[in-house]
Amino acid sequence: MTLQFSLGSVAPETVETPCVVVGVYENGLLTSAAARVDTAAHGAIKRQVESGDISGKAGTTAVLYAPEGIVAKRVLVVGLGTQKTFDGARYQKVNIEAVRAVGRLPVDSAVSYLTEVDVPGHDAAWRVRTAALGADFAAYRYTATFKPREKSAQPELTAITFAGGDDAQAGLAQATAMAEGVRFARELANLPPNICNPAYIASQAEQFAAQHDKVSCTVLDHEKMGELGFGSLLAVGRGSANKPKLVILEYKGGNEGDKPYAFVGKGITFDTGGISLKPGPGMEEMKFDMGGAAGVLGSFVATVKLGLPVNLVCVVPAVENMPDGDSYRPSDVLTSLSGLTIEVLNTDAEGRLILCDALTYTAQTFQPKVLIDAATLTGACVIALGKHASGLMTKQDDLAAELIAAGEHTLDRAWRLPLWDDYQVQLESGFADVANIGGKNAGAITAGCFLARFTEGQRWAHLDIAGTAWDEGRKGLGTGRPVSLLVQWLIDRAA
């Protein structure tokens, strides 16, 4: 179910809604909307602040039911933390927590006045966009493979109105499109691997292309890739009954003849590790190893929905990595599409083996302005950066600055890691041009260095999203990152 967003300008004490959402800072300071509600409700909020029932701590919530003097049935009071340190990240957090709290109430809609709260350095459009994306993230429920539930007897949240005027319209439009892209990515990532296999990803891309003007889809099967020389990619898929696909989406929203931007996403629909088998505990999370594919496809969806005046290519190598009598082995030497030979030292370092051929194909076929890949590539990146920042590698300082700025603006942040040639020595092989792993030291960086060998002469960046693409645990879900970052980067290029 997709949340419906709208803007409104009715005063908080007179707006007709099942729930009105206002904020209070930690020291008991009420926002202007909260103060108006409090005055109309004869001090109902201040009494709860004074009693300690409303602390104002960031993300805490309290509900006042049917306070006398206001039209709304309920008031949800959200803690904003200390005013002096209030920033964009806290603003995002309190909006997410607010919608989680509203979602637990028997209401089908709400009106939020949190978008009136001052966020240093950010305008009304940003506040509305960030609030709407946070709301959609919090309201998302995965239901695709559950038995159909009986319809709930109580209402469920379907619509949110944000306080805002004409200056916030652009933010609302961007949020609506970006939320659709994030949901597309999350749904793909969350599906079980017996459904979301290479053929399924190809079918989803074909369906999307069929429904949208200016969009076309081409799918290369394993036989066609064999003819073209995708020796590295095809080796990874040899052990699986689900044959690899190369999915190519093109959006022509820019001028005819303009070179496109290109996104490439790692699409390992399930990763056992192959012959270098992963440990059993936690292997179920390896359905998320196509998070890069989900992310670039979601970014493509959002770009089309926004109608950005750019040409964009999205290429997804979709492959399943399984152990089998025909699987590729440690010590195999593969010949990639570029002609470089690769010594396989570990079949669980397979993402770079499918990406190198996809990057070569994309560069040769489309000669893009900029080539960006996203991949759940290395556990080493999770050790280095945790779950908060994606790892960013590029040799172009200006491209790094653009992507970091887009991440900061959307709070879908990335942190730059070095891509120095000093690390390339770790990839030396006595049997091929390059080895597919560089040892335990600097694992995220040597993976980037491996890909750099296949992107010479390209304006290229690599995003390692192994830590950010999904939440850990038995109930962890795909996050839809880095959709927001990539779409913001394209918005900036279009501007």
At 490, which amino acid appears? L
**With the CA atoms of 184, 187, 190 and 193 taken in that order, what torsion angle do they form, in degrees rounded to the nearest 10?**
-90
133 closest CA partner among 183, 73, 170: 183
Antiparallel, parallel or unpaired: β 61-65 and 333-335: unpaired
Q: Which residues pair with residue 8 across a beta bridge?
A: 163
Query: Angle at Cα 373 formed by Cα 372 and Cα 378, nearest 5°?
Result: 140
To the nearest 10 degrees (0 to 180), the angle between helices 169-190 and 124-139 is 30
H or E stretch at 298: helix 291-306
Contact 375, 464 (CB under 8 A): yes
3-class state of residue 405 by DSSP: helix
At 343, which amino acid appears? E
| Known active-site residue 129 | no
**With the CA atoms of 74, 79, 84 and 89 taken in that order, what torsion angle do they form, in degrees rounded to the nearest 10?**
-100
**Using CA atoms, how far apart are residues 75 and 62, in angstroms rounded to an integer?**
8
As given in the structure block, the two tokens for residue 386 are 């945790």
As given in the structure block, the two tokens for residue 254 are 């820019």
At 181, which amino acid appears? G
Please tell me which residue in 73, 214, 278, 493 is annotated as part of the active site: 278
Contact 453, 434 (CB under 8 A): yes
Contact 181, 299 (CB under 8 A): yes
Please tell me which residue in 36, 238, 352, 453 is annotated as part of the active site: 352
**Using CA atoms, how far apart are residues 46 and 31, in angstroms rounded to an integer?**
12
| Known active-site residue 278 | yes
**Using CA atoms, how far apart are residues 375 and 408, in angstroms rounded to an integer?**
20
Radius of gyration of the chain (CA): 24
Contact 117, 23 (CB under 8 A): yes
Contact 70, 41 (CB under 8 A): yes
Residues with catalytic roles: 278, 352
